[in-house]
Structure 1
Amino acid sequence: MGENGIHTNGGDLAGGILRLRCAVKNYEWGKVGSDSLVAGLHEANSGSRVDPAVPYAELWMGTLESGPSHVVPSAENGSGSVTLKSWISENPNVLGRTVLEKWGCDLPFLFKVLSVEKALSIQAHPDKDLAVALHREQPLLYGDDNHKPEMALALSPFEALCGFVSLQELKEVLESVPEITELVGNQVADKILQVDEGDGDERAKPLVRLIFTQLMSAGSDATKDAVSKLTNRLRSKGTDGELLSEKDGLAVRLGRQYPGDIGVMSSLFLNYVKLKPGEALYLGANEPHAYISGECIECMASSDNVVRAGLTPKFRDVRTLCSMLTYNLGYPEILKGFPLSPYITRYLPPFDEFEVDRCDLPSGESTVFPAVPGPSVFLVIEGKGKLQTGSSQFPVNRGDVLFAPSHTEIQVTGDNNEVKLYRAGISSRFFQRKIDEED
């Protein structure tokens, strides 16, 4: 054992810091072969060759059992690989007292990289109470009882749908898209058109729920016919030289990817968000969303619960999705982060389970990640350099994923290149609240 009773077998480098081998997910919507950032990082992380014909969608870093990270065996002892979760269970003190008391012997967050070529499903994640109920009633579909708030931090230009549009924009959609009225009927559409802006969103929400539920629940044949009419009409406008709006152009793209899918039409109800690199979007429980294209860092509470209802060949739980949504109206908040130091930017969504730090380190420079009361996971996206904790120093390279125990100060120094890395850890707001409660 090392200091503080921490086992030093496996990929332990210094002070309990571990190198990790991480799981990759080859979902069909991912970027293919070497076009995928996930593929390149997975190759660097695992030594596996990239298959040029396979989509590489997600790199998972954490303890979730459906895609666990493994501790890299040490060259000295040749020990077999163990999961990070198993290692933490043998060394629970690495999490810190506060984290251990709150979440037990597990990481409360899952850290990911996504490479999106084709739109993901229109979906939402349940709150804690609903997650418990869904897991109890349908454990094969909903494999755990945890909620799943999440955040996407753009690495490239990144497109997403998120939350319902404003009441005014929804009225404009209903007035300009006759195919929606064909599916839901004039009576429902007229109710929304008659809501006065001064009445506020609270009066509109039940009506938005009604029309969205009827839209998503429409029969298969009627849906295919309406979506075909919509996309053909929009394509004809474009062919005739008439400029399509961004949302109309997106509907045409989605129609090519998912012909006849109700998600093509329901996308018009949702905000179309275009993130620049370095901007982030956070998604609370029961908010509808779909990622469209691009590459991002994603962090979330450690769960795999997804309720889907469109743009997917997977199981659709339309009734659950439509009943769980908040139906909040308006454009979502975009996080730009705030500086912790000259080279580190923090993204702090309103969730206890996680925060994310972005580090852009110029050639030859150094920066310090201060010790925090909980564990951290680091991912090197680009470049190579050195990491130092205490008196120990070791090299880091693109694709390296590192686990750092609580109360570990880490200094990073770049070699003759720029180093870009990301850190996921438990929210500093959570720790501050605990300190305030104890005072």
Structure 2
Amino acid sequence: MSFSPINAIKNFQVAERFMRYVQVDTESDPNSTSFPSTEKQKNLSRILVEELLEIGVADAHLDEYGYVYATIPSNTDKQVPVICFCSHVDTSPDCSGKNVKPLVHADYQGQDLVLPDDPAVIIKFAEHPDLQNQIGHDIITASGTTLLGADDKAGVAEIMDAARILMQHPEIKHGAIKILFTPDEEIGQGVNHVDIKKLGADFGYTMDGEKAGTIEDETFSADGVRVVIQGVSVHPGFAKGKLVSALKIAAEVIQALPKDRLSPETTAKKEGFVHPNHISGGVDKAEIDFIIRDHNTAKLTDHENELKSIVEQVVAQYPGATFRFDVHEQYRNMKEVLDNYPQIMEIGLEAIQRVGLPAERRSIRGGTDGSRLSFMGLPCPNVFAGGHAFHGKLEWVSRQDMEKAVLTILHIVNIWEERA
């Protein structure tokens, strides 16, 4: 007979944990050359290790790269695959994560949420469709001047509370469980130094999704492209017929990109895009960084060839100018791996249903640590953590949805044990 973890839960601590964790500044830095990119990320990781040790997870530790590794031992005689749960501690550099002041809007009734530290920042019911599912819930937001950090401290808090419950309730049968907390996910470097052999897991789940009840098994495939344009620099007082501005060429390249397709603002669902996200330089040399995205990995080459053709056509109009076109792989669609292990998604979907939620399989217009972990030998879909409106001041999460995520973790490990 299967065990329902709901029967064992008397008091969740996930919301309280979450509100503590978001007050620790863990913003990552895309311009840093160190790993982790900011030393302050380890401040939260140290707290997590201390709390894991306090609840009896004896091997919890922080390594030199800022990863937290921990093991909850098996409590069954069955041979069960080792399951890892992973979340990232860093917050996005797109919005300040310093001095976050979490606020609880108890018993939400559909009103717009005006954030007190900047009354111009309003989470509007009409603009956030998922708020329709939150009537009666306790909504947690920031105060209006920072992001909240639900991406992904909600996932961190959920894994931590599930760990506490598992240590306190041995009647919930499970195999060995691995916990992994990573830095620098928001800048695409979250698993650069993960020791997969040391982690020792067979399958994983990142707790980094959005809407309650969702589990994602498909991400973008992603490349980065850097276009380096070399101009001809001449004193502007003597420049006639000689000067070739790399900066103007770069601007013209961006202007020549398609206006009605192939951009984030004109695509949806499974459509890919070419997105210039940084430009720098001057007359002599200019650089444009692009991110190239598509769910179909083969289409990345098509998008890159189209971009290269645009650059060639623009640069050809400027005698003396040259360019370099550098492509580097970022991550690949985890579905290419996960389709070989259908039981991972089957168990994830069943766990969500046992919590009492309608289970929804989704694709992500983005990537997770799970994208790269899957190709490193740890097949790893992405489970909801409950946060919404990531990376900005309008971010919010529901206490009840985080509690459902905790229960989903408990059901996942219990179902793996049942099926063993």
TM-score range, shorter chain: 0.3 to 0.5
Return the TM-score normalized by structure 1. 0.32
TM-score (norm 2): 0.33
Greater share of residues in strand: 1
Structure with greater contact order relative to length (CA < 8 Å, sep ≥ 6): 2
